[in-house]
């Protein structure tokens, strides 16, 4: 079983992004779970979402306390101590940031993990997903996640987006495709 924990802020689409990723995985015959955890439910507040994927039925029903991979939709959340809590250091940390992956990798908190970055905010703004001050980055992040994990095809991700994106499904699919191509590992 592979477990993902998404860290975002209210309004960035972490919950919908996790659901879309799970839908793409399910469409390729995998067993999945996707679920959110909310604290204070308001725009800008920290939000956590979870995805589990396996080749056989998943009976576990709990939050993910020791994720294999982390998805950080706002690089400012890297300073939050709960972001890395329980993280298995040999997994990926995918970060939405404009900062260079080589510069970030010098940070001791990334020792022993695989680091990937994509400027999902820039992509979201270019595709008119949200606003300049509050871009909705979820579908771009899912495109990048698809690339770094290889768990499903970008076609499955784009199809899941077209079915599950509440607004502008074509722009969201383009954002995923672009992030798939631009992610830096």
What's the 3-state SS for 102-131? HHHCCCHHHCCCEEEEECHHHHHHHCCCEC
| CA quadruple 63, 19, 17, 2: dihedral, nearest 10 | 50
Q: Report whether pLDDT(40) > 70.
A: no
Does residue 42 have a pLDDT over 80?
A: no
Mean pLDDT, range 15-42, rounded to an integer:
89
Read off the pLDDT of residues 70-129 as tens digits, 9 standing for 90 and up: 999 998 898 888 898 999 888 999 999 999 888 888 887 787 889 999 999 999 999 999
Query: What percent of the chain has a predicted confidence (pLDDT) above 90?
Result: 69
The per-residue pLDDT for 101 is 85
Share of the chain above pLDDT 70, in %: 97
Q: What is the largest distance, in Å, between two alpha-carbon atoms of the chain?
A: 42
Q: Is the CB of residue 4 less than 8 Å from the CB of residue 71? A: yes
**pLDDT number for residue 41:** 62
Instruction: List the domain boundaries for the chain.
Output: 2-182
Instruction: Identify the top-confidence range among 93-102, 131-140, 148-157.
Output: 148-157
Instruction: Give the tens place of pLDDT for each residue, 47-86.
Output: 899 999 999 999 998 889 999 999 999 988 988 888 989 9
Q: Are 15 and 36 in contact (CB under 8 A)?
A: yes
- The model carries a pTM of 0.92
Architecture of domain 2-182: 3-Layer(aba) Sandwich (3.40)
Q: Looking at the predicted structure, is the pLDDT value of residue 160 above 90?
A: yes
Task: Identify the three-state secondary structure at position 133.
Answer: coil
The 3 state secondary structure assigned to 8-32 is: EECCCCHHHHHHHHHHHHHHCCCEE
Mean pLDDT of the chain: 92
């Amino acid at each position: 079983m592979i477990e993902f924990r998404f860290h975002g802020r209210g309004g960035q689409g972490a919950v919908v992004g996790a659901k879309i990723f799970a839908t793409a995985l399910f469409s390729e015959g995998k067993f999945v779970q996707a679920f959110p955890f909310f604290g204070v439910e308001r725009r800008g507040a920290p939000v956590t979402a979870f995805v589990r994927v396996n080749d056989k039925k998943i009976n576990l029903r709990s939050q993910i306390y020791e994720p294999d991979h982390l998805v950080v939709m706002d690089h400012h959340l890297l300073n939050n101590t709960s972001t890395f809590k329980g993280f298995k250091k040999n997994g990926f940390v995918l970060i939405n940031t404009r900062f260079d992956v080589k510069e970030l990798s010098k940070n001791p908190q990334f020792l022993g993990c695989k680091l990937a970055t994509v400027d999902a905010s820039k992509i979201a703004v270019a595709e008119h997903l949200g606003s300049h001050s509050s871009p909705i980055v979820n579908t771009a992040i899912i495109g990048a996640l698809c690339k770094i994990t290889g768990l499903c095809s970008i076609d499955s991700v784009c199809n899941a987006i077209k079915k599950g994106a509440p607004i502008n499904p074509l722009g969201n699919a383009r954002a995923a495709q672009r992030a798939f191509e631009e992610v830096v590992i």
